[in-house]
Amino acid sequence: MTINDVEKIFDADGLLFQHFPLYEYREGQLLMAELIRRSYEEDAIAVIEAGTGIGKSFAYLAVALFHALQNPDERSVIATSTINLQRQLVDKDIPALFAALDMECSVALAVGRANYLCIQRYVQVKEASALLAQDPTGELYKVGAWVQETPTGLFAEYPHPLSYELRSEIFCDPDLCNPQTCSYVHECFYFKARARWSKARIIVTNHHLLFSDARSRLEGDLGYDEEHILPSYNRLIIDEAHNIEANATEFFTDIYSSKGLLHQASRIQRSSRYTPNSLLEQLSPYSEDPLGVDGIIEELVALNAEVQALDQYLLGVFSKNHYQPVLVTAEHQGRLGTFKELAVEVAKKGKALSKRIFEFAQRCKVPEELESRLNELVVRSNRIDSMVEVLLSFTDYGTWGEEVHWFNSERFGRDISVEVRITPLSVAPVLVEALFSKLQTVVSTSATLDLHDEFEFWAKRVGLPYTDERPFFKGTFASPFEYTTHLLLITPEDAPLPAKELEEEYLAYMSKTVLEATLASGGGALVLFTSYALLKELRSRLSEAYEEAGLLLLSQGELDRHTLLRTFVGERDSVLFATSSFWEGVDAPGDTLRLVVITKLPFAVPSDPVFKARCDAIDAAGGSGFFELSLKNATMKLKQGFGRLIRSSTDRGVVLILDSRLVQRRYGQFMLRSLPESFHQTGPSDSIAAKIERFLFP
């Protein structure tokens, strides 16, 4: 059997049917696999929407498998956005497919270094904290026991809670790693993993590591025929591709963070629970620098003072803007004199510190066991230098190009950290230059890419097609599920508009309607919000009512995502309130999820500076930022939320969208047409509960 025989796998009486008694033939899966096969064969770019239930992972895995077996010198990389899908591929889908085909191929999961424990750093912490390391109840002792038995060193597999403080001391930091001088390089979990990657013909990774490898190759002018962060490869499959633009935007953003800078400074001059002696204290006895440690501390104090001054200025800006992010445009430059003055002073002090530390390091003669500490001092200094470079770029107004310049604030408990960010206005050029144009095949797939526009919206956002000379394949394969009989879509006509969503009339309506709907379904409900403030308010108003009804109310923010989802799936009649990331990646097939409530259409927050800048750029070019970007982005996310409900051919349930713009605004019809055709009812809100009960419990 060869790669050209995909129909023998997916056909009505094919290998999957023979191996899995419950396997159902899906024409879309067969056609998808055939399109991917052609993409490999013709060195093409392909964009594929595969509806829920198509079985897209088997479709692309089968092609990658056969290609690997027929071409032992080539490697395929599969990149996903979420950890859940990575684990599903490695732990479930790949073993099942290989068993069905009775074939073997080496596969490896590739994640970033920070996910691994560094043995050398752990030993250093253990030696510096001997008493803590001997306490059987302490986390350092427990980590030590785990190190002796773990085959991977992955923190994700550590069976106990792990504090950020300890993890930050012992993770595998790429800048602090020198294989030539490390005593534990042969036992290193990360390098053992890299050895497995190098032997694997199929690698499963994440978007972040994919972009990290691509950017590094681009900056180093390295081809994909060389090993770099990832091994050499020439075929790429991007799953959950609807997230490419957002993930690439975040990755390619340059950031100055006051919290991040001060953290690096703190690691230089202060001790911690697990490192009783600071870097400077450990290195000072070996310095031949006439200014010594005192000179570095003097520069650190000066830097800290300037950082605090810049913080106070930016906090003043944020307080006037209700602590929302602030977009800075060219016309604002004339009013930023104070900011520029303060930012330049931070940069000057950061540069002075870097120079002082470099001179100190040049004159520091340390014994072999402290070489890693000297390297760490230089690394942390370089990180400070990189952050202040962002300030210099930001304040060099004459060099501004097509980037988005903005201020951001992040809250950490009671503290607020300020950030200065520079984000690409479009990630399309870098994606084309770093990925699409360099690889022989790139297949992008998701359940939500096409808006009945031949992928025009999504493709344009990521730079495709970048040339007419290269084959560009497109395929849309609808879900095989019977939405018209298995899903009831309810869109009430009288829901108040969410323009003032925290006013009492709106809150009273949402509280009453959400409660009545979820009680009518008997729980088994996922309530999706676009605002965490609204989520908290409704939770406060409804928690007592759910307790009286005997329904478990779960809420994002109370527990981590994994625990929330596990509890929700395990408790058949629970109700889960969630925002943002829960609009996708929630897979709860069966009766455990029978109602999805979408409280508001997921339009981007108007205060998002990057989104606003991109809309403004479209408007300035003569288009419509609302119709060309805002509406289509929201529609794609609406499709994701809608898709949480029907996850198998036997699932049955209700989607309730409590946003009357869907029926009152002309653009609502565009959004409705993007959803799978289902049994759709409108009407007054007081009929919602009865409609849910009749559909779920006929």
C-beta neighbour count of 326 within 10 angstroms: 18
Residue 1 has pLDDT above 70, yes or no: no
Which structure tokens are listed for 536?
Answer: 């908290």
DSSP for residue 502:
T
The bridge status of strand 235-238 relative to strand 441-446 is parallel
C-beta neighbour count of 407 within 10 angstroms: 21
Residue 2 has pLDDT above 80, yes or no: no
Lowest mean pLDDT among 323-332, 441-450, 560-569: 560-569
CB contact set of 509 (below 8 Å; sequence gap of 6+): 495, 496, 685
> What's the pLDDT tens digit per position in 266-291?
999 988 888 888 899 999 888 887 77
Of the candidates 679, 630, 635, the one whose C-alpha atom is nearest the C-alpha of residue 450 is: 635
Burial 283-295 (b: 16+ CB within 10 A, else e): bbeebebeebbeb
Specify whether the CB–CB gap between 236 and 270 falls below 8 A. no
Q: What is the DSSP string of 528-554?
A: E-S-HHHHHHHHHHHHHHHHHHT--EE
- Between CA 536 and CA 16 the distance in angstroms is 46
- Between CA 489 and CA 596 the distance in angstroms is 10
> What's the pLDDT tens digit per position in 400-432?
999 999 999 887 777 888 999 999 999 999 999
* Local confidence band at 180 (pLDDT 50, 70, 90 cut-offs): confident
Name the residue ranges covered by the structural domains of the chain. 3-106+200-249+427-477, 113-184, 254-423, 483-696
- Between CA 333 and CA 343 the distance in angstroms is 13
Q: What mean pLDDT is predicted for residues 502-509?
A: 88
Of the candidates 330, 675, 299, 623, the one whose C-alpha atom is nearest the C-alpha of residue 460 is: 623
C-beta neighbour count of 665 within 10 angstroms: 15
Residue 9 has pLDDT above 90, yes or no: no
pTM for this structure?
A: 0.93
The interaxial angle of helices 244-251 and 207-220, nearest 10 deg, is: 50
Which structure tokens are listed for 663?
Answer: 């029926």
CA separation, residue 371 to residues 286, 340, 377 (Å): 11, 38, 10
The bridge status of strand 525-528 relative to strand 575-578 is parallel
Which structure tokens are listed for 609?
Answer: 């500076």
Which structure tokens are listed for 375?
Answer: 């390297």
The upper half-sphere exposure of residue 496, i.e. CA atoms within 13 Å in the direction of its Cβ, equals 16
The pLDDT value given to residue 70 = 92
- Between CA 499 and CA 600 the distance in angstroms is 10
E strand segments, 2-148: 45-50, 76-80, 107-109
Specify whether the CB–CB gap between 191 and 179 falls below 8 A. yes
Q: Is 189 exposed, middle or buried (0-12, 13-18, 19+ CB in 10 A)?
A: buried
DSSP for residue 241:
G
Computed over every residue of the chain, the mean pLDDT equals 93
Q: What mean pLDDT is predicted for residues 334-347?
A: 96
**Selecting from 3.90.180.10, 3.30.360.10, 3.10.440.10, 3.40.50.300, what CATH number does the domain 483-696 have?**
3.40.50.300
H or E element that contains 265: helix 258-269
Alpha-carbon dihedral of residues 411, 412, 415, 420, nearest 10 degrees? Answer: -50
C-beta neighbour count of 480 within 10 angstroms: 17
Domain at 254-423: CATH code: 1.20.120
**Selecting from 1.10.3720.10, 3.40.50.300, 3.90.1170.40, 3.40.50.720, what CATH number does the domain 3-106+200-249+427-477 have?**
3.40.50.300
> What's the pLDDT tens digit per position in 569-578?
999 999 999 9
- Between CA 236 and CA 39 the distance in angstroms is 11
Which structure tokens are listed for 673?
Answer: 């047409």
C-beta neighbour count of 624 within 10 angstroms: 12
Cα distance from N-terminal residue to C-terminal residue, the chain: 49
Residue 339 has pLDDT above 60, yes or no: yes
The pLDDT value given to residue 321 = 87
Q: What is the DSSP string of 643-688?
A: TTS--STT--EEEEE--THHHHSTHHHHHHHHSPP-EEEEE-GGGH
The pLDDT value given to residue 293 = 86
Unique residue bearing structure tokens 């290195």: 283
The pLDDT value given to residue 695 = 96
Q: How far is CA 116 from the centre of its chain?
A: 19
Domains 254-423 and 483-696 share a fold: no
- Between CA 524 and CA 520 the distance in angstroms is 10
Greater model confidence, 585 or 396:
396
Lowest mean pLDDT among 342-351, 524-533, 560-569, 616-625: 560-569
